[in-house]
Amino acid sequence: MRRRTKGLLAILVIAAIAIPSVMYILNSILNPPPPEPLNLDEAPAEIRAMKADLKEKLSEGTFTWDDMENFSIFSNYVAAHHPEAQEITKDWEIVAVLEVLDSGYLWFTVANDALNLTVESVPPEDPDVTIILSFDTLTEVFSARTTAAAAFQRGDVDFDGTLGIALKIDRLNTIFSYTIMDAKLYYSSGIINFVITESIEGSYTPGYTLFPCIESIITNESMETGAMGAGKVLIVDDQGTIVNQLDDSQHSVHKFINSTAVMMGGSDGWMEIWDFVSDTRVELDIPAGHHELDYNPITDTFMVLETATNGEFWGGLEVIYDTISEYNWDGDLLWQWDARVHLPFNSTLYTTICNNYTFRGYTDWMHANSFAWDKVENTIWLNVRNQDTILKIDKDSGEIIWRAGRNGNFTILDINGTEVDSIWHYPHSLEWIGNNRYILFDNGLFDPDVPTSMTRNGTGISGFVEFEIDEENQEIREVWSWHATNSTYYFSESGGDADRLPDGNTLGIFANQALVLAQPDPVIFTEVTRDGEIAWELQVRGGNGTYYWAHRVERFYEAPLIEVQNQVVDINAGTLWLNISTWNCVKEMFSTDGEIRVIVDGTEIYQDTFEFQPQWIATNLEVSLSNLPTNIRYIELQVENNDGILKSVVIYGSVNPQSVDPVFYVLVGIMVAIPVIIVISLIRTGKIKLSRE
């Protein structure tokens, strides 16, 4: 056996032994087991006695506000000795408060890598976050009978401030209470496992996919909803490789405001901007709202959805409304559309359409979850999910121009032209995609034609629906749709997105059941062609009892896209005609400046400015040139966006070395020939002898 072959076999044997060991070690480092409650064997006797007393009272229901002093003393000890609590408080400077209704306040002050938990009768001034709950709910959480996330979902916990801070406080409280109750902590780092289940070359345009990825912890089988854990923002390429990552982010909606900056919000708290190239993150004094946000560069203002109540009750629950609010950078409220004024509660309509579907313990009259803002015409299209209806709103007057959908007066036609009651059911993520065309994600929830979808824990068929609204004839016409064939695997109880891409494909999210229904399902990002074929699909799978939830998705590209529709190049006549379509590298909700150039043999001969259209609408441009230079080797077309990101394509000839000036080859030939001639001359004169051995 040759020495090289033996060496290769030796390497393979070593690798076969080493790689599993290394992978085991890496998995242990990257995905450690869930942390355990603090071991108190070495704790002072008074701490152990305090723990036993607190556990007994929480178990028997005799825990009172007077016991909070001992709870704070015990918790301070745990925070100073528990590794995870120490990690949470490291390099953290905050003041948070639990406002326990009719009882008092529990202050969390973190400074100098340490937590100081105190019981007070008055709130602190300007805390970073205030978590509001009743004493009964507090004892439920402290006794590990429920989670703060589950209590929040049912409306028993509210907060004011940044969601990320609130979740860290919840995590600390969980460490304290689970140590008292000898319970196993449900938090774990989880496993983010990306699997490309479909990738057909040539059927999609490779790019980058940005999405929030929030942990849903469902190891506790008694949970009706998954407990919300840590959140991230991830950017992956078409191979499923993470190329950018932002940790400690709970926002659910992300939209580009330029080529590298993303505004984040949609999960209450405060809006933020993340530049993923410089990895800088800025918090704004603007409410993040719920479900949707937008930015208008014309007015330099932001728009969000918020909730409101006015003391109305139905079925024992307070009626909740939605408002659309516009803010400047300083957080000043400039304008607001108030549904309490323009869309008052109608109990008959609510029971007919909404199936008494509640949200966070309210009678959820609207559950508006998306809007599209025409910044030129100053109109807003609002998706009212619980009414299966879209409203067109005049921003200047606040008046509803029309209602289209199940609760509207427009005729609804399906793909075959047949009149139907609705072409979507409890949809998400309405987007205007140009002219009078729109697209949304159809959750397929509470669809009377699918009986299994009529309960919260049911099954249905989710998909994408593109439709056209004819205002003059008051018609909605379905023009394209795609629904998954697997009704359980792709059924989305909550969330969901549908984005029309530059190449005509549609990208969306399916299977968000981990958080709402505590089911161990993956998040599925599916891209389909106009013909309904799956071109690309990424699944985010979990493990260790931790799965994931994602609400929206954004696709973007390394540089602007260029598609040459037609071209005529006549070198002899010196003329050039181009008809091209171009798209910016990111999807923005507004027009932005661009520049087009024609380069001939390295020299710019044409330049013009234009505007990239919003929402992946193609920008069509025409270039007509005459009197081109003679002896052209190559013609290059360039498109550059407002951020200086440039895309270049060669439309004639080549810029590779084969197109270099012929003089270059003459010079190279001379440089090679001279040494050869010298060597031959030396051989002939005998100064160099050739050996025949």
Last residue of a domain, one of 556, 580, 604: 556
Could you tell me if residue 40 is inside a domain? no
Could you tell me if residue 75 is inside a domain? yes
Q: Give residues with Cβ within 8 angstroms of 422, minimum separation 6.
A: 388, 405, 406, 412
And the tokens for 5? Answer: 């072959």
Number of domains in the chain: 5
| pLDDT at 145 > cutoff 90 | no
In this prediction, residues 677-687 reach a mean pLDDT of 60
pLDDT of residue 514: 75
Residue-wise pLDDT for 68-104, tens only, equals 999 999 999 999 999 989 999 998 999 999 999 989 9
Same domain, 358 and 498: yes
Q: Give residues with Cβ within 8 angstroms of 296, minimum separation 6.
A: 302, 303, 373, 375, 590
Residue-wise pLDDT for 232-248, tens only, equals 999 999 999 999 999 88
pLDDT of residue 680: 62
Last residue of a domain, one of 496, 528, 556: 556
CA distance 299 to 523: 37
Same domain, 396 and 258: yes
Could you tell me if residue 566 is inside a domain? yes
Could you tell me if residue 38 is inside a domain? no
Q: Output the domain CATH number for residue 101.
A: 3.30.1050.10
Same domain, 498 and 521: yes
Question: Which range, of 154-168, 182-196, 207-221, averages the lowest pLDDT?
Answer: 182-196
Same domain, 381 and 485: yes
Residues found in the chain: 693
| pLDDT at 371 > cutoff 60 | yes
Exposed/middle/buried for residue 402 (C-beta within 10 Å: 0-12, 13-18, 19+): middle
Q: How much of the chain exceeds pLDDT 90, in percent?
A: 62
Same domain, 609 and 676: no
Same domain, 340 and 355: yes
pLDDT of residue 630: 86
Q: How much of the chain exceeds pLDDT 70, in percent?
A: 85
Residue with the larger pLDDT of the pair 458 and 405: 405
Same domain, 165 and 292: no
Same domain, 83 and 198: no
pLDDT of residue 219: 66
Could you tell me if residue 188 is inside a domain? no
CA distance 614 to 74: 56
Strand partners, 194: 540
Could you tell me if residue 37 is inside a domain? no
CA distance 575 to 573: 6
- Sheet with 634-641: list strands edge to edge: 603-612, 592-600, 634-641, 646-653
Could you tell me if residue 667 is inside a domain? yes
The whole-model pTM stands at 0.76
Rounded to a whole number, what is the distance in angstroms from the first to the last CA of the chain? 31
| pLDDT at 111 > cutoff 80 | yes
Q: Which domain holds residue 680?
A: 662-693
Same domain, 79 and 105: yes
Task: Round the average pLDDT of the chain to a whole number and report it.
Answer: 86
Residue-wise pLDDT for 515-560, tens only, equals 777 778 889 999 999 999 999 999 998 877 788 889 999 999 999 9
Strand partners, 543: 546
Give the β-pairing of 400-405 and 411-413: unpaired
Residue with the larger pLDDT of the pair 350 and 672: 350
Could you tell me if residue 118 is inside a domain? yes
Same domain, 502 and 448: yes
Residue with tokens 């992956």: 236
Same domain, 231 and 359: yes
